[in-house]
A and B are shown apart, each in its own frame.
Chain A
Amino acid sequence: MSSPQKRSLRKMLVKRSINVVVTIFGIMTLNFALIHLMPGDPILNMVPRDPKLDPAVKESLIDKFNLDAGLLERYVTYMWKTITLDWGTSYSTMRPVWDVISYDMRWTILLIGTATFFTLIIGMAIGAMAAYRRGGAFDLVSTGTGLFFYGMPIFWFAMLLQEAFNSQLFGMNWWPQLPGGSYYDIVEYGPVFEWKLGLVLSVLEHLILPSLTLAIASFAGVALVMRGSLVDVMTDDYILTAKAKGLTDYQILRRHALPNGMPPMVALIAMSVAFIIGGAYQIEYVFNYPGIGYRTINAIWDLDFPILQFVVVVGGVAVVIANLLADIVLIYIDPRINLV
């Protein structure tokens, strides 16, 4: 790489990084605004509405977030506490919010990671096949199925799969039965996670149904974009040249079309992180999989606002980081990319 290119690359990375910081700052501010500028008393929003609550706990919460101070002072306190991960106490569990969220986060990342892996494999394979045999039967069927899954409420699909694979109801014992809830066999291994072989296997077994549900529900987007970008590439002139050279269709797909069809895919993966997080929330609720989504939905019922507001921050930051990573990957796989 020549030096002016390197310079503009560095310039772009600096610009992107500044954008990331600004966006995270914006997410935190929006979050503050939601809690403090919405109709209703912010103290009531931040402090449990439970009348039986110990007044001392309430005092300490008000004290901690400076809740009886002016708006600006509250904002400064909030920003500082957020950056230093001092997120207060969740009052449904009476544990520090950061501890609760960071523990749940591991399980959600495991679920989302596994699901994304399957989504990409299923989606890209089907998309590539459909583009390869464009207009054929496979293309029609896969695009149709893809659109069907795309329009499907994920929670509904989760309910159906849970019923199909985790029910003794219809005497379907011959059918493979999978655990339909929790993240491992708590009855056998106890509530504290340890690195034991049996326990890890139990985790994997419990992961199959939720992660596959999430993957099947979200592969359609990947397949449609993969197909679209490959079809775009396949109509380019150099593909014709490759054909004229006598390469087989498979060689063209593998060596020419796939590498050039990748950039839109990487951008899509980053963008679908937000979608997959939304899907994971529904899956966790239906399968009783105790990750962040499950925690959030319970927090709504308990009106546990300390948990709720920082879940927004965590989700937003995750998406921003995914996008930054995608940008960096894009620069590596596509040197033509606009560097400014």
Chain B
Amino acid sequence: MTQPDNGQNKRASEIRSEVRREKLRLLISRSKRVTRDVLKNPMGLIGTAILIFFMFIAVFGTYLAPYKVDATKPGLFDSYLPSSSEHWMGTDVFGHDIFSKLLYGARTSIVVGTFAAVIASVVGATVGLFSGYAGGWKDEVLMRINDVMLSIPWLVLMILIAGLIGTISLLIIILIIGLTGWSATARLVRAQVLSLRERQYIERAKAIGAGDLHIIKTHILPNSFPLVFANTILTVAISILSEATLSFLHMRPYGSVTWGTMLSYAYECSAFQLGLHYWIVMPGLCIVFLVLGFTLLGYALDEVLNPRLRKR
């Protein structure tokens, strides 16, 4: 075989860059279409609106808050002040302004939820992909491990791990939630890969000598991505709830303001008896609406990205 001359080389690189440009164009137009479809869907529209509101608070909340909050130190005010014009929702047991804390909590919740969900999705997708594609005994072993993870009630497992670790930081909370929450995603991705693997174009790709890595990269991954993406958004919602529950049951991340932690102290101090209703009602409502926002967006994305559901 002769070496291709310079002209051919140049031609090949031109084609390659053109392909790359075309792919990018396709990706952009596709995301535009998905965004439009999601916003047309009433669930998607409401979900997006809720999330934009909370994102705004997550980014600017600490500047909007009337008072600075440092969770590692006691606050500047008396404890249990009733709501007034200075403190809209009163002050808590540490003498922190409850309204300010509420604004601070948005960032923590979104950060914990997002990172934990991304960890869970990456681990779950990797396990599911490998398991579904490899098949055979490797699949069997991984799925038995997955069964174990799915069987242990998530809260009990997280509580045991948190108890063993002792002192808990925000990072540890993220890791605990992410690393215990991947099994549902793994099962979902595995099922998708199993059905993709049997498609004809994969067989054709194999016939012309494509390697496993190539097939996974160009066919299986892009085709499983929409499923994983919608699922990740739904996992964010579950992770936010998990964080709140762990914080409420005293596995509070040290030095961070979270809505779960606020509720935990409010419960212990019997906030209702003290007349500080906002202390219990507001953090709970914030959690409900944030979770609702992610759930609605997740369902809408699922409907748009996974056309099987479209007929409903």
A interface, CB within 8 angstroms of B: 19, 22-23, 26-27, 30, 34-35, 38, 40, 45, 147-148, 150-157, 159-160, 163, 167, 169, 228, 231-232, 235, 274, 277-278, 281-282, 285-286, 296-297, 299-301, 303, 305, 308-309, 311-312, 315-316, 319-320, 323
Contacts and interface: CB of A to CB of B under 8 A. Distances in A.
Given A155-B263, A300-B250, A169 B273 contact: yes
17 contacts: A23-B147, A38-B161, A38-B165, A45-B164, A160-B281, A163-B272, A167-B272, A277-B153, A281-B155, A300-B159, A300-B162, A301-B250, A305-B163, A315-B153, A316-B151, A316-B152, A320-B151
Given A38-B164, A151-B292, A286-B267, A156 B249 contact: no
B181 to A, nearest CB: 12
Interface string B226-257: 00000000000100010011001111000000
Interface residues of B, number: 46
Contacts of A159: 263, 267, 272, 280, 284
B145 A147 contact: no
Contact of B272 (A38, A156, A169, A231): A169
Nearest to A304: B163
Contacts of A35: 164
A274 B154 contact: yes
A156 B263 contact: yes
If over half of A's interface residues share one DSSP class (helix, strand or loop), that class is named, otherwise mixed; here it is helix
Contacts, number: 150
B215 interface: no
B150 interface: yes
B19 interface: no
Contact of B288 (A152, A235, A277, A301): A152
B311 interface: yes
B187 to A, nearest CB: 11
B296 interface: yes
Given A45-B164, A155-B263, A167-B272, A319 B296 contact: no
B177 interface: no
Interface in B255-312: 260, 263, 267, 272-273, 280-281, 283-284, 287-292, 295-296, 311-312
Contacts of A277: 153, 155-156
B307 to A, nearest CB: 15
Given A34-B161, A153-B263, A282-B249, A26 B144 contact: yes
If over half of B's interface residues share one DSSP class (helix, strand or loop), that class is named, otherwise mixed; here it is helix
B64 interface: no
Given A151-B295, A316-B148, 5 more contacts: A45-B164, A151-B291, A157-B284, A169-B272, A315-B152
Interface of B: 144-145, 147-148, 150-157, 159-165, 237, 241, 244-245, 248-251, 260, 263, 267, 272-273, 280-281, 283-284, 287-292, 295-296, 311-312
A26 B153 contact: no
B155 A278 contact: yes
Contacts of A285: 249
A278 B164 contact: no
B163 A308 contact: yes
B164 to A, nearest CB: 5
Contacts of A169: 272-273
Contacts of A23: 144, 147-148, 151
Nearest to B148: A26
Nearest to A224: B299
B153 A153 contact: no
Contacts of B250: 297, 300-301
